[in-house]
């Protein structure tokens, strides 16, 4: 089963950007972890990152057309992008929203995500382990839907 792990703006800077908030794991290490975890769980994981909102929308449309599951870290777009939220609402497969930091313990403007209302589940504040947990959840969920 195909699972898209999609990452929004600035996540390509992991390991160098605000390491006190996002940790020292590099983006390349995150990609490796997601692909390896997926392989262990029998998932075909495709990991992508973009700083261009239209590109993320295209990937969400692709996942919707395929009926694929999605792990999404919309990053800053979480808090204001109705376009990203609407594309997520089109998904037919499960959607797990992931945030590396605890958005509820940060600045007030980060406390609300417009994506959460259309997500199957939300994981935040567990660092990059949130991605691993999201993939574990999806593997179990997809196995019981076959």
92 annotated to bind ligand: no
22 catalytic residue (yes or no): yes
- Identify whether the C-beta of residue 43 lies closer than 8 Å to the C-beta of residue 135: yes
100 annotated to bind ligand: yes
Q: Which residues contact 41 (CB under 8 A, 6 or more apart)?
A: 135, 136, 139
Give the active site residue among 4, 27, 99, 131: 99
20 annotated to bind ligand: no
99 catalytic residue (yes or no): yes
Helix (H) / strand (E) containing 6: strand 2-7
Tokens of 146: 């076959």
79 annotated to bind ligand: yes
Give the active site residue among 22, 27, 80, 131: 22
110 annotated to bind ligand: yes
2 annotated to bind ligand: no
Tokens of 145: 């839907």
Q: Which residues contact 81 (CB under 8 A, 6 or more apart)?
A: 53, 74, 114
Q: Do the strands 121-124 and 95-99 form a parallel or antiparallel pair, or are they unpaired?
A: parallel
Residues annotated as catalytic are 22, 99
What residues are designated binding site for substrate?
73, 79, 86, 100-101, 110
Annotated binding site: 73, 79, 86, 100-101, 110
């Amino acid at each position: 089963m195909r699972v898209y792990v999609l990452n929004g703006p600035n996540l390509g800077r992991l390991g160098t950007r605000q390491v006190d908030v996002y940790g020292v794991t590099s983006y390349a290490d995150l990609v490796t972890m997601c692909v390896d975890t997926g392989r262990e769980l029998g998932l075909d994981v495709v990991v992508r990152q973009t700083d261009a909102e239209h590109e993320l929308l295209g990937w969400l449309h692709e996942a919707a057309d395929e009926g694929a599951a999605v792990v999404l870290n919309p990053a800053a777009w979480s808090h204001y992008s109705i376009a990203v939220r609407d594309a997520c609402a089109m998904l037919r497969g499960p959607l797990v929203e992931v945030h590396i930091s605890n958005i509820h313990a940060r600045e007030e403007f980060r406390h609300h995500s417009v994506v959460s209302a259309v997500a199957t589940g939300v994981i935040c504040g567990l660092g990059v382990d949130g991605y691993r947990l999201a993939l574990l959840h999806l593997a179990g969920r997809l196995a019981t839907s076959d």
